[in-house]
């Protein structure tokens, strides 16, 4: 194992064991290197690597801290990697969405409040007046973001948002080439929302499968 990898593993073990807690400052570099039996150079490289994925926060002149380890923060690194997707992988991202988003809709159907239902209804109503595919997409993104939030699972919500972005170009393309794309999107969103409002997880799950699979099936046909 490379020395930098060993340093990363040792710091990870300190965090997982509770020896280093979220928001806590790491010991001085020299002291930590001595404790771990590693060179300062190896430790320094490990800190840089862990800072890139939001595990550590290096504050100039103040020291290095464990971040909050909030799921949204940690999943930013995943989103960064996802941004490098190739266009030919869009169908794979749609398949992942077809797994995640129905689950989120089912969870949201058990938790959604009247205020949250009303907020999502406003999004659907506003989307009907959208004039461009880009505007339709903006409302679509907002609706799905609300579903993720209302699911009550911040990790799931972050994954949904991260895996949604690579499909945006295909969704705009659909809006430009499929005559009823805007109306179909609003209708499918309404079916999901009606199930949420009725507190029907199974129906919400099925409605979201239909919605996400619609984009996937359309893309298969036109490619």
CATH number of domain containing 29: 1.10.10.10
Query: Which candidate, 194, 94, 192, places its Cα nearest to that of 143?
Result: 192
Domain end among 20, 49, 68 = 68
Looking at 51, 68, 85, the residue that finishes a domain is 68
**Partners of residue 63 on adjacent β-strands:** 59
Range of the domain at 101: 76-222
Residues 21 and 84 in one domain: no
**H-helix or E-strand spanning residue 13:** helix 3-16
Kindly state whether residues 107 and 190 are assigned to the same domain: yes
Tell me: do 10 and 120 sit in the same domain. no
pLDDT above 80 (res 136): yes
The answer to whether residues 128 and 216 belong to one domain is yes
What CATH number does the domain containing 203 carry? 1.20.120.530
What is the per-residue pLDDT for 187?
A: 96
Q: Check whether residue 97 and residue 199 sit in a common domain.
A: yes
45 Cβ contact partners less than 8 Å away, ≥ 6 residues apart: 4, 7
25: β partners: 65
Name the pTM for this structure: 0.69
Whether residues 25 and 118 share a domain: the answer is no
pLDDT, tens digit, 9 for 90 and up, residues 158-177: 888 888 887 888 888 888 88
Q: Is 50 in the same domain as 128?
A: no
Q: What is the pLDDT of residue 83?
A: 56
Are residue 199 and residue 100 in the same domain, yes or no?
Answer: yes
Same domain, 48 and 153: no
Confidence at residue 79, expressed as pLDDT on a 0 to 100 scale: 62
> 129 with 210, same domain?
yes
Answer with the one of 45, 68, 91 that is the final residue of a domain. 68
Q: Which residues contact 82 (CB under 8 A, 6 or more apart)?
A: 93, 162, 163, 165, 166
Same domain, 111 and 214: yes
Alpha-carbon distances of 26 from 35, 56, 117, rounded to whole Å = 12, 9, 44
Segment 139-162, tens digit of pLDDT: 999 999 999 999 999 889 988 888
Residue 221: pLDDT over 90? no
CB 26 within 8 A of CB 55: no
- Nearest Cα to 207, choosing from 60, 96, 106? 106
pLDDT digits (tens, 9 = 90+) for 3-47: 788 889 989 999 989 999 999 999 999 999 998 888 889 899 999
Same domain as 86, residue 183: yes
What is the tally of structural domains in the chain? 2
8-state DSSP, 20: S
């Amino acid at each position: 194992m490379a020395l930098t990898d060993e340093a990363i593993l040792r710091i990870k073990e300190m965090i997982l064991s509770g020896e280093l807690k979220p928001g806590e400052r790491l010991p001085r570099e020299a002291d930590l290197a001595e404790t771990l039996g590693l060179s300062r150079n190896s430790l320094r490289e490990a800190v840089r690597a862990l800072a890139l994925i939001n595990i550590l926060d290096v504050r100039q002149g103040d020291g290095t801290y464990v971040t909050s380890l909030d799921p949204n923060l940690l999943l930013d690194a995943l989103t960064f990697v996802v941004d490098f997707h190739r266009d030919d992988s869009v169908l794979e991202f749609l398949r992942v969405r077809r797994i995640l988003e129905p689950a989120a809709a089912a969870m949201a159907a058990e938790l959604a409040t009247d205020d949250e239902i009303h907020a999502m209804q406003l999004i659907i109503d506003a989307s009907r007046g959208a004039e461009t595919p880009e505007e339709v997409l903006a409302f679509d993104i907002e609706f799905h973001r609300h579903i993720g939030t209302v699911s009550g699972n911040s990790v799931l919500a972050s994954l949904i948002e991260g895996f949604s972005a690579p499909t945006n170009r295909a969704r705009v393309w659909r809006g430009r080439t499929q005559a009823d794309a805007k109306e179909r999107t609003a209708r499918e969103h309404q079916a999901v929302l009606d199930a949420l409002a009725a507190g029907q997880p199974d129906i919400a799950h099925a409605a979201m499968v239909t919605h996400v699979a619609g984009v996937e099936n359309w893309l298969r046909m036109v490619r």
